[in-house]
Each structure stands twice: as structure tokens, then as C-alpha cells.
Structure 1
Amino acid sequence: MHLNTMNIYYMIFSIGILGYFIYQSFVYKNLFPKKKYIGWVLFRMIAILSLILVLFESEMVLTSKDTTTLFLVDRSLSCENHKEEIEKVINDNIKDKKNKDEIGVITFGKEPMIEVPLTKQIKEVNLQTKVEAQGTNIQKAIDYTLSYFPKNRNKRLILFTDGEENMGSIDEIKEKINHNHVNMSIYPLKNERGKDVELKEINLPTNIHIGENAPVTVHIRSNIGTQGEFYLFENDEKIIQENVKVEKGENEFTFNIPIKEKSTLKGEINFLEDENGKNNICTTYIDTKEKSRILLIGENKDIGNIRNLLGHLPVVYKECTIERASFDLNFLSSFDSICMVNVPYEKINKEFEKNINVCVKEQGTGLLFIGGENTFSLGGYKNTLFEKVLPVNCKMKENKKKPNTGLVLLIDVSGSMEDTANGVKKIEMAKEAAIRSVDILDQNDEIGILAFSDKLEWVVPMKSIKDKENIKKEVGRLKPGGGTLIQPGIYKGIEKLKNTDTKIKHMILLTDGQGEKEGYETIVEKLKEQKITLSTVALGQDSEKDVLKKLGDGTKGRNYIALDYYTIPEIFAKETYLASKKYLNQRTFTPKWVNSSFLEKTSIPSLKGYIGTGIKSGATLLLKSDEEDPILASWKYGLGNVVVWTSDLNGKWSYDLIMWDQFEKMWAKIINYTLGEQNSSMKIETNRENEDVEVFVDTGKKGDHQKIEGVLQGPNEKENIFFDGIGTGKFYKKISLSEVGEYVLTIKQKENGKVIQQDTKRIKIDYSPEDRMVQNKLDFFKFSTDGEYIHQDTNIFSLPIKNKNKGYLSLDFILLPVAILAFIGDIWIRKR
């Protein structure tokens, strides 16, 4: 039996009760006959002792005879060659299992997973679960296993591992193992790492300033003594190459380098005896800056005026074309604002688009989007993720009159349109192009689709665009076959369009071959006479480009050459927008002020064109056209300030504006607005130990209403981080980064729910935790848990159970009734 004797007050009270009972015994000794007195004392003693035992929470100790054995198997990369060995050991021992013995199998890498649920009936184990093998967390695996053990059985844990834990800490679980009476056995797996030299980390001082020489400390870990080369690159430029000698164990070297703002430092080692090249690179970042940084993206002909403007501002800028722009998140995060000038959507990498969204929304990077003929609807931005970032929609509002359009698509369906490139047929791209045109046209427009080869077929007879879905189905009837006769198709199109009651009449001619050589002068005259424009799309090198050019030029249309089948839908979309004259507005007008916001209201010079868009709800319209369309608009997208200019800045539409004496002043304010509040007074310090990063934030402010929150954007997903307060204006958070790749941590200071300042820190994990050299703690772990090593010939189920599971049964259910019966007996005797 077990007594809880921890409460001294219960002991004093119990002694008092017993003393009082003894005193009563002497008082009543001569009042009762001897037998009656003995019965009374006996009943009174039983009652009092029962209550005292209840008071002390008396329990009966029960020892279990049944045992549960759990096999905990390390399946991380460093143990992947031991699968068959582990299966053999487990299966050989299962044969000796008693019928009442219960077993289970749990595998682990970064996280534990149940391989075989608890069972008494099993003949063979095959390890099949796919664990996250890029890490070894023995602590988490054992913790999970302890919670999986049944409560009322003896616990035997068989751990298969090489002991190379690189996540968590095995030291923190040993007390829990002992407390849970677990019988620990370890089957050590051999890990032949070989000769290894690891570039562990590169450290910089906490407080560094631009232009100063600062010490860079390089930590190299090695299991051999050897010589090799160390290289240090700054923004991919080699700045240090040194021959270094390392001893077995930890090695440290220091180099001085000049500090440049927002730099990337990458270290690399090369040792001839090193047999593991996976852990030879380490990256760190210099996030210090004195000037705001701007990334300028666009063609040289479009960005000249912005370049000149930035050259007169106290900023650092980098320029590139969209094709050469890095879409890397860490690269984009190093800029405070990104300026894109007349960039077509088709040239934007999907990763770039996703990361721009992250930078603006989550990290507060500004965005200045400047228009031109390759932007908004004409540039293919409609219904894209990029459009969501902008304060305007690519589709204009429906509350104003627009000229209706009659459009005829003349599509070559000769036999050559059956040709395939990269698994896609020309004809399928032509169908997609026709569907894109249908989507763009409005309800009051009309369309006809004429297929031509050596015969003509109206796949879609000239009709209103109202039933778009049925028209799209009819497009599917386009099928290739026959020769190429262009002129009959054009004449058919003219006949249809001249009888169409639309303000705009336009044809798009797509062909991949050569038709008639002569007779086009008459066609051009006919088109002019009926005020029909015609644009041509020459598909491939074999098409009659010269003839098609004469057709387009002669009718004031446009000419395209599509060398890539995939560009056909984009060309048709852009041409449909241009033909409808609803989005490309080329006329002289004077912008009107709606809101001044961060600008001063002054007389704005006239512009000669812009791309039509629609203002979004929640956005601020600063300047509008004479037809109420946005010219300059802004809004806050997440944390970032975004500004859109729907005209150009290359001088085609904006010459008068560029020559205006207030141009530089106005655009300096626009650029400054996109930069937002970039100067943070927060002091941020990071300490990194392998994949664990400790972040300390000091706001320098007093107050109970401030909070520090963060957004961690990693290789695969983002995570919201909430910091713990550790003092006035001081906050702390420990973050574990297990995936290889680049991370951006955006830290936001909030007061009363509002973000008042923010900053970013960049971190990179260059190689898997499994490639790190770590201290093997199996010997210490075995000793501290009173465990033992086992080997292949060990009969696991015959191992003695030293720590038996102890259960405790409360005796209250017996003692309380006994006390009540004893008191009844006490009363009964005294009343006799």
C-alpha cells in the first residue's frame, strides 16, 4: 500500500484526532462493561483509521505482467542503407514473441510516423512509410513514442539509430523516459561518414556600417587534419581566396572585408581529401543599407527617363530587362521598391510573378507599374495574379459608351495546319486564339469565323457575341485539310462586314503558307472603300510575309510574325483589344485631378494616349482622363504601396509631361510613396545554430500595446510568427528552418493593431541537416536512461523488464464504506 504523506497539516490533524480518541478511551473506560467497551474502542478505531487513510490518499500498488514493445526506427538519409538489416532483426525477434506480447513499429526522420499499429498478431514487418528523411529528430520521435505506449502495460522501447541527431535534443527527453518506467534498448547503426570537411557557418558582427572594414568569421568543422582552399564571393564576385589548414574538430578563421549594403556573401571550401561535397557552401546576407534600393525593369527605350530621374535621387538602383531579371525571392526582397515599365505579361516568369506578390503583400516592397502598349489588357495581364496586385482592373468599367466592333477571323485550315511542334498542333493554337478573341469582345460586338483552304466554311456565321459558350463550342469544328487560297476568304469577309451595323469593322488573317501571288491591290481598295481594317498573322517561315505585310499596311492594320505556335493566342488577344479601340486610347487630352493624396495639385500637361483600365474598390484615383478612365492610381496591397500610371514614360504619349519643369518633382514624390516607411528604428539581432535561428528584436519603445509579429516565407510555404515579450520593448523567438533553400523573415511592429514599422532579414539553408557533422550522444543517452546496447543476435523478447509499470488503485471505495459501517457500529454499541 502507498500513502501520500506530503501534507504536514493532514499529519497534525490526524495526530490530534488520535490523541483525542485516546483521551476519550480513558474517559469512557469505567462507563461501559468490559466487552461493550472493547467493541466500542474497536469500532471507533476502525472508523478513525479508515478516515485517516482516506485523508492520506491511500493507494494499492499494482505491477503489470503484460509488456508492449515498440520498435522505433531511424529512416533518415544517414540510415537509408540499413533498411534490410533492421527488418531482419525485427522479424527474427517476432518469431519469439509470446502471444500476449503487444508490439508496434514507428519510423522517423524529421517527424515520427506509425509503421505498424499496436498489435498482438503479426508475422512480418516491411518498412514502407515515406518519412521526411532530410533530418533526424530523435527527441520528437521518442516523445511521440512515449505517448503511444498503453498506460497499464510494461514498456519496452527498442531504438534503431546511428545517433546522428541534427534536429531537437536527445538530452531533453531522458528524464521523461525514466519517469515513464521505459525499458530502453539501443541498436546502434553504423554510419561510415568517411573523411569530411564542413563549412559550418559564416558570421558577421551585429553592428556594421556601410564602407567600413569588418571581420568575417568562418567556422569549419572537420573529422580529419588537412589543407585546402577557402573562397568568399560577394554578389557572385570572388573577393577572397585563401589556403587554409584545418585540424580535426572545430576550426575558426577571420578575414576583413569592406561592407557593401544589401550584399550576399557566399563561402565555399575545396579540400582534396574531403569525401562529402554537399556541405561545402554557406551563405549569409548583409542587410544593412543607407539608401533605398530600387529595381528598374524594362527595355532600354522605355526606361531612359526613369533612369535619369533615379540618377538625381538619393537612391541606389539596378536596371535589367524582364528576361534577365532574377525571380529569386531573396534577390527581389533586397529592394525597397520595384519599378516595371511597359513589360508584357508573356515575358514574366511565373515564379517572378508569385514572388512579386509575396514581396509587396507580405514584406512591404513598393511597386511602380508604368504603362505602354504592352501592358494591362493589351499586354495580357487580365485575370492574372499580377493584376491582383495593381489598384486597377484590366477591364474597363461598363458605365460609358464604347464603339461596337464587327470582327471576322480568317483562319487558314490547309493541310499544313495539322503540323505539330512540342506536342501541340498549329490548328489547336488557332482554336485557342479564336476563343481568346471571343472572350475579349463585349455583348454588343459581333464575330464571324471563316475557315479557308481551297474551299470556304463559316465555322461561326456572323452573329452577336452574346452566347459566348456556344460560339466557343463551334470553334471546335475547325479542321485542317486542302490547299491555301487567301483571296476568296477575304472577299467573303468583306461581304459580311459591309452589311454589319457596327462602328468598327476589322479582320484578322492567320495563315502558315503561301496563297495567290497577285491581285491584292484590288482587295486593299475594297477594304478601304468599306472602311475595314485588316491585320495579318504570318505563322512560320514558309508564310507569304511580304504579301501579308502589304495587306496590313494598306488598310492601316498591323502585321505579326509568329515563329512560335504558343504566341498565336497572345497575338489574337492583343489584336482584338487594339481593333476594338476600347482600350488603346490615342488622342490628346489633359488629365484631371481627383485626389492629390501624396502629391500637390498642379496643372498637368496634356498626354497623347493611355491604356484603358478600371479603378478597383479601395484604391485611390489621383488622375483621370477626359473619359473618366484612371491615369494615376494607388493603393496599399498588404504591406506595400503600389502606384499605377496607365500612360507611358518613353515620350510617345508623354513628351509634354517629360519636358514639363515639374516632372522630376512630381515623379520623385511618386517613387518616394512606393518606398513607404523604409527606415526602421528596430534593432534586430539573429543568432544561428545550424537550422535554429534565434531572433531578438528591440523596438526601443515603452508601452503595453506593442506587439512583434513576423511572416516567414520559405522554399515551400509561409508561416506566421508571433514573438514573445522578454522585457520592455524587447521580444524573442526561436525559429527552426529544416528545408534547404532561401527564407525571408518580415518583422512587423504593431501598436493597437496597426503596423508602424517593419524590416526584413534573409536567411539561407545551403544543405540538408543530414549532411552536417554532429556529435553522437548515444553513449551518454544509454547511460542516462539506464539503457543497454543490443546486437543482431540479441533475443529482444527475453530481455528482463527492469522498470515495471506501476499502477495505483485508490482505496477510497473500500475505506469510506468501512468508516461509515464502523460509525454505525459505534452508535449501535453505545445505545444498547
Structure 2
Amino acid sequence: MIGFSRAIFLILSLIIIYLIRKFPTRKAILRSIQIFLLVLALSGLQFFSSLSQINVVFLLDQSLSVSPEEKENVLNFINNSLRYKGENDKVGLITFAGDVNIEEDLKEKPNLNKISGVETPYFTNIENALLSAISLKGKQEPLRIIIASDLQENVGNVEKLLNKMKNEKIQVDVYPLKTKQYKELILMKLQTPKIIDTGQVFPVEVYVKSFGIKEGTLEIEWENKKYTYQLKDLREDNFFSFNLKSTSSGLKDVSVRIKSAEDTYLENNTAISFVYVQGKPKILYLIGEDFQPLFSNALRLQGWDLIYDKYPYITLENDLSNYQLIILDNIPANKLTWNKMNNIRRFVVEKGGTLLILGGDKSLSAGDYQQTPLEEILPVTLKPEQLLKRSNVSLVLIIDASGSMGALSGGEPKIELAKESAQLVVDFLNDEDYFGLIAFDHSYQWIVPLQRLTNKEKVAELISRIEAGGGTAMYPPLKSAGEELIKIPNQNKHIIAITDGQTEGGDFYGISRWLAKNKITISTIGIGEDVNTNLLKNIAEWGNGRYYYAWDLRSLPQLLLSETKALLRSNIIEKNFTPKVNRPEFLNIQNLPPLSGYVLTSAKYPYPVLISDPTGDPILAFGQFGLGQVYVFTSALKSYWGKDWLKWKDLGRFWSELLRRSIPHYISNIHVDVVQEEENGVINLRTADAQGNYINYAEIKFIITDPKGKEIQGVMEQKGPGFYQGKFPINSLGKYQITLWENNNNIAKILWYTTNTNEFIPKTFNEDLAYLLTSTTNGKIIKEPKDVFRSWNFKSEEPKPLDIPLILCSMVLFLLELFFRKWRSIREMVMEKINTFKRQQGEEWYDSVQEKILNEWRNKPYPSMLETASLEMRARLYIAHLKAQEKKKK
């Protein structure tokens, strides 16, 4: 296929007609050919190779605005279209909504029967979906994108990509999805004051949007009371205002819900607004059987309002939002029902409260806290570390090398983090230790057979060869590792599995219990954001090991070698020691009174151990869980372990300063607001000092727990004088728990609720956007499967310009014409040169022969006259003979 980049110059071909008429025919033809070649070069003649294949990527809209029936119809349409696919054609599949999932890369034989879907169906981001499709395209290969959607984008802007797709040979077709009209009631906005005083009456403003619904019910929950209002004669936009009154201090929420029997979606019917009621901090102090009042009296002197409760702890059955702090003083788990423990957990995670657990002979592991709701929010592990004898360690690392481990985590492939961790473990072990390493995907391989570590360099080289591969099957390598460890005589045998847990099925319970029975522990490390937490936690629990989520893998290897059940150590350690302060910047203290005992625990990553015994066992640990914080003091403020602490004059001040850090300081010079911007939540913080001066250059961090329990951390960026902003992704609808920290001080707690109302607004197919996409990229709106692989209109690669070859050919023809025109003159000139050369050559030859004879003559005696005549005659005859021979040669 050919084309012209400067076709206007083709008009110069009229010169050819003139030349044919002006000059003789033979000359005109040759001259015309030369000029015609130059005209083609000036016109930008180009050559295009023909297209050999069609690359098609399907984009499937998986947002909530698309019905399940339509999603199923799209899959049927795609599979029907494959009947028209050419042998060399390639097909890819991408699902999208708020996020994007590449289900199938461009392949000649794709598997499109099953899709895994998306994580955030609450948005429609066509722009990101198109960018992902474009990333599958080769550099010079054209691409056809089929968008199966209602095209109701509410995140991103697809119009920004139009020029890019047009310039990069990308054709966009649209397969319109049917939309049905439905009735919908949407709670668009709930607004309340952020800070109020105890006893204050405050307004609650509600914005409700109605599509075809005239009546409904509105419910408000506040301070454990429910208020119901009937809604009549609803219009499309409805604004309501109510008044509520606070009766006690604390971090509280106003919950509003709208209901209607005609409503279609329930996800957008609820909103929650956070309210902080200022007042005197209140503590719920749960006392045990050996209660000693010295500690609680010290807190009273520091201005705390304490409410005591004892067994059966009736207070825990009620709403706990009136309290800022709960203290469990040496209370065993059997004294608390499951519901009461769950209520404590919700008080911390959802209400933003602070929990202090004091140790003793009936607390923590000594009080059977294992496998209870309280254990989930402890910053320590109740299975204490067993210090290993370095010469008796047998360790097998099992590393997931499946394709999912090639994905990025924090900017680096997960498999590279796993290899780096394995190498750190090898460096940590001694030569007498046994070490083995298995890499697995759909099958497994002993990269390092179980052996003594006598050649660490060779082991390091073997570890570096691991690469991410195909599927995932973790059960066979676990079994193989156990079979090899059983053969080793060492007592301390461990398996550590480093994986994201995305594995094929297997009897993980059976293999874990079998290994535990043979005194082999299993610990698991989850890597990445898509980790299968439930499976990895269960394997570690069944195998008497521990589970870690690798926030920072480089800090874990030293902890991993201590993953074994504490069979030789008691839950309680009784000895005299002076506590060691590990975080003086957090506690603002250097020297502490001695203690006489503690409940044995171990650190839980990533929570800090603020105080420890000289060997490193936790004494005071701290952790952030949801909106709230938990402190664990593994010793006891009792006479049997803490008599010196009870005598300590700074006992009340120390604990009061520590605990007040966990209660946010809601004062007039701090204002926090959270808003939604497309698929992100935005935290806006404005702060000033007591004199009203802006506070600049502050280091403020945020910790967020989303509705699915996933933790998100980030840093606030200063955007202006006293103004800071932080962004986080909205991965799911519901309640987001946000805490702000500055220099280890909790400065704010925010409860934020989102329902992303735009996705649920009844809509029709966006015909305007469909026309814009298809007309700009030379695509079409398709309805039949055969249209997917229709003939291609684009050229398959960049054109090859022919101007240089055409100019060269014209020059060659011009030189040939010039040569033939001057041929007679050139021939005569050449012949004259040849004859002149011959004459010159003959004269030179004659003179040389004559000179030779004369020289011979001079060298002989003078001859007689007769001899002279005779010699002269012979010389002439000899010369004549030579000339005759020369003529024959020529």
C-alpha cells in the first residue's frame, strides 16, 4: 500500500506532457521519466506494509451501576465474537470500575470464560482502564479497544486520552450496556459540628436525594437512643435539619439512615458524622480479685474521673462511648463473656477509646487471653519467643515464586524482597545450623537442599536465581520440607513460609498438625496488599508458629529465627530487675523503679516495646488499633511484683502523662475536615498556636483503618500557612477510622463515612461520550460479535519514505542520458588519445633499440671497411626483423 505525504506536488507532473510535445520522442521519454521520479519524491511517496493481525482488548465495566445480568451478557458476547477471530489475532481482557484488573494479557489463545473482577466497584474510571489497555500495546502495533460499559464515568476524564489514542493508532469501539430505570433514595450528605461541649444542643443537617420515591423513613442514632421521622412528599432534592443534645463527654458519632420499600440500593442509605464532646476525661476501671487501690488513687490525684466496676462487669454490656479509657486490672478471660470482650474491642477500634491492660498472675497468657477478641488488639504476642541454641537450628524457608510475587510492593517486586530476606537469614545462621530453601509456583524445587551451612557463598548464589513464575501450590513444598526435617537430629526445627497466600487448595490443617506433632513449627509471612491473611494465620496457628504481615520485610529475619513455642519457659517470670526504657522520646523518662516479675510475652511487629526487661522481654508495649490505642503492662502494679512502683512518688504523673497522649486534644486552634475527591479521601488540617499564629513545618502522620480492616499510613503535606493535607484511597464504602499524630502525640481522631452517591444515581447510556470516543478514533458502536474482528482500517506500522531512492534513480537516469548524448564526441576523443599513445610508444621503442646497437658497436674493435658495410647491413636487417615481430604481437 502506498501514499503521499505532500500530494500537492503531483501537479508538477504536467511538465511531462509539455516535454513529450516539445522534444523528440526518445529524448522526451527519458527526460519525462527523470522528472516523474523527482515529482514522486517531492510528493512524499510512502510505502505501507499490509496488516497481518488484529489486536483487541475488551474493557468490561464491573461497577455497581451495571446489572449482574448485563455483566453476564457481555461475557457471552465476547466468547461469541471469538468465532470470528483470525489465527494470528490477539485478544486481551481488562475489568474495571474504581480500580483496574488485567484479567488476560494479549494472547492468540486467551481464556475468557472466568473473570476475577475488581476490588472497588463503587466508581467508574474509564480513563485508567484505557491507560491499562494502552500499556498492553506494542510500540508500532495498532490496537482496537472494545469498551463494554454504560460510559457513566464519575472518576477521571477520558477526554484527556483522545489525542493520545488518535496519534498512537488506537481504535475505540463501544459495546453499549443496557441500563434500566429504577427508583432510588440517596443520603447525599450529613453535617454536624466537629466539637461540642457536654450538655450542648447542636444541629444535624441532612441532604436526601430522591428519584421517583415520595415517602420514606429517616432514623437518627445518638448516645444509644434512636429518633425516627417520617418523610413525606419527597422531591428530587430534600434538606432536613434536626437538633440533638449531648449528655456526656467522649468521642461519639451521629448515625443517620433512610429507608423506603421502593429503594433499590441500600449501600447509599447510611451516613455517620463524628462529634467530639468535650468534658473531663472519664476512666472505666475494671478491678480484679486482688485489687489494690494505690494506683487508681494516684490517677484520681491527676484529675481523672474513675468509675469502678467489678465482676460480673455489667458496665461492659452498655454503650462505652462515655469513657475515654478502660483499665483491665489483672482480669482473667473467663471472667469476661465473649460479647463483653467484643464490646471492649469495638470501644478501641471504632470509638477511638484507649485500653490499658495490667498484668498479674491472672492476666494475658496467664489468664488465657489466647484466641479471644482481646488478643486481636494486643501489641504483644502471647506465644513467647524461644531463644534458639545456635548450633541446633534446622530451618527451611519456603518462598512463593509464583507470578503474583512479581508484582510491585512499595516500588519493588515482592520476590526480590523475599530473596533479600532469605539472604539475611542465611547470614544470621551459624555454620553448624541446617538450612534449606524451597521455591514454589505450580510445582516446587529445592533451590538449597537441607544441609549444614558450610558454604554460605554457594547458598547465596543459589538464592539469587529465584524468579517469579506461574501458579501457586503451597501444600506440596510444606509436605516435602517436613519430610526432610524429620530426618535431622536437631530438636529445634522450623519452617518459615514467605508468600502472599494466593495458593491452590490442599489439606493445610492436616499437614500443619502433622508437622506440629513431629515438633516442627510453621511460621508464615504475608507479603503485599493482596495477602490471604486468613489462610496464613491459620497455618501459623495450626503449626504452633506465628503469622506476620510484612510491613517492612528487612526488619523481620532476626525475629523469624525465634518462631517456636515456648515449651521450656513458663508464662510467668519472677525475678528482680530494673526495667529498661527503649523509647525515652515517647516516655520522657530515663530511670524507673525495679520490678519483681511479669507475664512472659514477645514483641508483635510493628508495635513498639516502650519498656523491657534486660533480656528484651516486653514490659510496656503500645499499639494503634483502628481509631484507638492499647497499652499492655506485663508486670503488675501489686505488692508482689511492683511494690517499688507503688511507693514511687511519680507513679500518678508517669501514667497520667502516658495515657493523656492517647486522648486527642480538640481545641479551637486545630480544625480537621475530611472530604471526598473522586476515588480519594482528603484530610484537611488547619492548626495554630494559642496566640493564633500558624504552626508550620510540623511532622504530622495519619493512620487510617478502612471498613475492611486494612490499615493505611501516610504523611500530611503542608500546602499553606498552617494548612496540611493528606490523601488516601477509598477502597470500600463505609466507616474510615482516622488518627493524626505529631511527635508521638495523638492530636486528632476522626470517624468518616462515605457512600459514593454518584455511582448509584439512576442513569442512561452516555451516548455523547460514546460518539466522541468512536468518532475521534475511527471506531464504531458495535452490536454484533462479528464486528469485533472486522477488517482493519489502520496501517500496521510507520510508513517507509521513498524520496531518497527516487532521487537516486532520477540522478542515474540523468547521467545515462548525458552519456549517450555525448557518445560520438567521447569516442573520437578516446580514439585520438589511443593513436597518440601508440605513436609515442613506437618512437620510444625505436630509439631504445638504436641506442642498444650503437653501444654494442662502440665496445667492439674498429672494423675494416668491408666489415663495416657488412655490419651495417646486418643491423638494418635485424631492426627490420624486430619490427616485423612487434607488428605480429600487436
Q: TM-score, normalised by structure 2?
A: 0.51
| Distance in 1 separating the partners of 2:308 and 2:219 | 28
| Distance in 2 separating the partners of 1:688 and 1:109 | 17
Query: CA, structure 1 residues 702+796, in 2 after alignment: closer, same or farther (shift >3 Å)?
Result: same
Q: Does 1:731 align with 2:721?
A: no
Query: CA, structure 1 residues 126+707, in 2 after alignment: closer, same or farther (shift >3 Å)?
Result: same
Partner of 2:256: 267
Q: Does 1:673 align with 2:658?
A: yes
Give the AA of the match of 2:703. V
Per-residue deviation at 1:268?
A: 1.2
Per-residue deviation at 1:778?
A: 2.0
Q: Contact conserved, 2:282 with 2:324, CA < 8 A, in 1? A: yes
Partner of 2:752: 763
Q: C-alpha offsets along residues 627-671 of structure 1, whole Å, 9 cap, x if unaligned?
A: x9999965766897957373456x99999998x9x98x8435423
Partner of 1:81: 69
Give the AA of the match of 1:250. D
Partner of 2:189: 201
Query: CA, structure 1 residues 289+108, in 2 after alignment: closer, same or farther (shift >3 Å)?
Result: same
Counterpart among 364, 367, 382 of residue 379 in structure 1: 367
Counterpart among 82, 93, 98 of residue 94 in structure 1: 82
Give the AA of the match of 2:185. V
Partner of 2:711: 718
Per-residue deviation at 1:235?
A: 3.7
Q: Does 1:187 align with 2:178?
A: no
Per-residue deviation at 1:109?
A: 4.0
Q: Contact conserved, 1:614 with 1:629, CA < 8 A, in 2? A: no
Counterpart among 263, 268, 273 of residue 279 in structure 1: 268
Q: Does 1:256 align with 2:243?
A: yes
> SS of 2:366's equivalent?
coil
Per-residue deviation at 1:86?
A: 1.9
Q: Does 1:68 align with 2:55?
A: yes
Give the AA of the match of 1:710. F
Per-residue deviation at 1:265?
A: 1.3
Q: Contact conserved, 2:256 with 2:271, CA < 8 A, in 1? A: yes
Per-residue deviation at 1:158?
A: 1.8
Partner of 2:220: 232
Partner of 2:124: 137
Partner of 1:684: 672
Q: Contact conserved, 1:632 with 1:646, CA < 8 A, in 2? A: no
Q: Contact conserved, 1:102 with 1:119, CA < 8 A, in 2? A: yes
| Distance in 2 separating the partners of 1:725 and 1:340 | 40
Which stretch has the larger CA shift, 169-178 or 213-222? Answer: 169-178
| Distance in 2 separating the partners of 1:282 and 1:362 | 15
Q: Contact conserved, 2:188 with 2:757, CA < 8 A, in 1? A: no
Counterpart among 738, 746, 771 of residue 745 in structure 1: 738
Query: CA, structure 1 residues 212+230, in 2 after alignment: closer, same or farther (shift >3 Å)?
Result: same
Per-residue deviation at 1:276?
A: 3.5
Partner of 2:113: 126
Q: Contact conserved, 1:297 with 1:325, CA < 8 A, in 2? A: no
Give the AA of the match of 2:658. Y
Which stretch has the larger CA shift, 298-307 or 210-219? Answer: 298-307
Per-residue deviation at 1:295?
A: 5.2
Query: CA, structure 1 residues 248+620, in 2 after alignment: closer, same or farther (shift >3 Å)?
Result: closer
Counterpart among 345, 353, 357 of residue 369 in structure 1: 357
> SS of 2:215's equivalent?
strand
Q: C-alpha offsets along residues 261-298 of structure 1, whole Å, 9 cap, x if unaligned?
A: 41111111122332444432222222464544545445
Partner of 1:773: 761
| Distance in 1 separating the partners of 2:285 and 2:140 | 68
Query: CA, structure 1 residues 358+468, in 2 after alignment: closer, same or farther (shift >3 Å)?
Result: farther
CA RMSD of aligned residues (A): 6.3
Q: Does 1:796 align with 2:787?
A: yes
Percent same amino acid at aligned positions? 17
Counterpart among 690, 708, 712 of residue 700 in structure 2: 708
Give the AA of the match of 2:119. E
Per-residue deviation at 1:226?
A: 0.7
Q: C-alpha offsets along residues 468-513 of structure 1, whole Å, 9 cap, x if unaligned?
A: 999x99x999xxxxxxxxxxxxxxxxxxxxxxxxxxxxxxxxxxxx
Partner of 1:520: none
Q: Residues 368-407 of structure 1 correspond to what in structure 2 (within 5 A)? A: 368-375=356-363, 378-380=366-368, 389=379
Q: Does 1:243 align with 2:230?
A: yes
Which stretch has the larger CA shift, 140-149 or 158-167? Answer: 158-167
Counterpart among 658, 682, 685 of residue 697 in structure 1: 685
Query: CA, structure 1 residues 93+127, in 2 after alignment: closer, same or farther (shift >3 Å)?
Result: same
Per-residue deviation at 1:144?
A: 1.0
Per-residue deviation at 1:233?
A: 0.5
Q: Contact conserved, 1:686 with 1:693, CA < 8 A, in 2? A: yes
Query: CA, structure 1 residues 275+710, in 2 after alignment: closer, same or farther (shift >3 Å)?
Result: closer
Partner of 1:104: 92
| Distance in 2 separating the partners of 1:2 and 1:177 | 23
Per-residue deviation at 1:315?
A: 4.4
Which stretch has the larger CA shift, 144-153 or 312-321? Answer: 312-321
| Distance in 1 separating the partners of 2:764 and 2:310 | 51
Query: CA, structure 1 residues 770+675, in 2 after alignment: closer, same or farther (shift >3 Å)?
Result: same
Q: Which runs of 5+ in 2 are unaligned?
A: 7-33, 388-489, 494-512, 519-565, 816-890
| Distance in 2 separating the partners of 1:738 and 1:69 | 29
Per-residue deviation at 1:310?
A: 5.7
Per-residue deviation at 1:141?
A: 1.7
> SS of 2:69's equivalent?
helix
Per-residue deviation at 1:341?
A: 0.9
Per-residue deviation at 1:600?
A: 12
Q: C-alpha offsets along residues 94-118 of structure 1, whole Å, 9 cap, x if unaligned?
A: 3344556543332334433344432
If you compute each CA radius of gyration, which structure gives the higher value, 1 or 2? 2
| Distance in 2 separating the partners of 1:112 and 1:61 | 35
Q: C-alpha offsets along residues 565-610 of structure 1, whole Å, 9 cap, x if unaligned?
A: xxxxxxxx99x969xxx8579xxx9x999999879999x9x99x97
Partner of 2:821: none
Per-residue deviation at 1:354?
A: 12
Q: Contact conserved, 2:739 with 2:746, CA < 8 A, in 1? A: no
| Distance in 1 separating the partners of 2:598 and 2:615 | 9
| Distance in 1 separating the partners of 2:141 and 2:385 | 69
Query: CA, structure 1 residues 345+296, in 2 after alignment: closer, same or farther (shift >3 Å)?
Result: same
Q: Contact conserved, 2:204 with 2:243, CA < 8 A, in 1? A: yes
Per-residue deviation at 1:374?
A: 0.6
Per-residue deviation at 1:762?
A: 2.3
> SS of 1:217's equivalent?
strand
Q: Contact conserved, 1:711 with 1:718, CA < 8 A, in 2? A: yes
Per-residue deviation at 1:724?
A: 3.5
Partner of 2:329: 341
Counterpart among 139, 148, 169 of residue 160 in structure 1: 148
> SS of 1:81's equivalent?
helix
Query: CA, structure 1 residues 723+97, in 2 after alignment: closer, same or farther (shift >3 Å)?
Result: same
Per-residue deviation at 1:126?
A: 2.3
Per-residue deviation at 1:807?
A: 5.7
Q: Contact conserved, 1:685 with 1:695, CA < 8 A, in 2? A: yes
| Distance in 1 separating the partners of 2:253 and 2:624 | 27
| Distance in 2 separating the partners of 1:97 and 1:391 | 58
> SS of 2:218's equivalent?
strand
Q: Contact conserved, 2:253 with 2:274, CA < 8 A, in 1? A: yes
Give the AA of the match of 1:796. D
Q: Contact conserved, 2:250 with 2:324, CA < 8 A, in 1? A: no
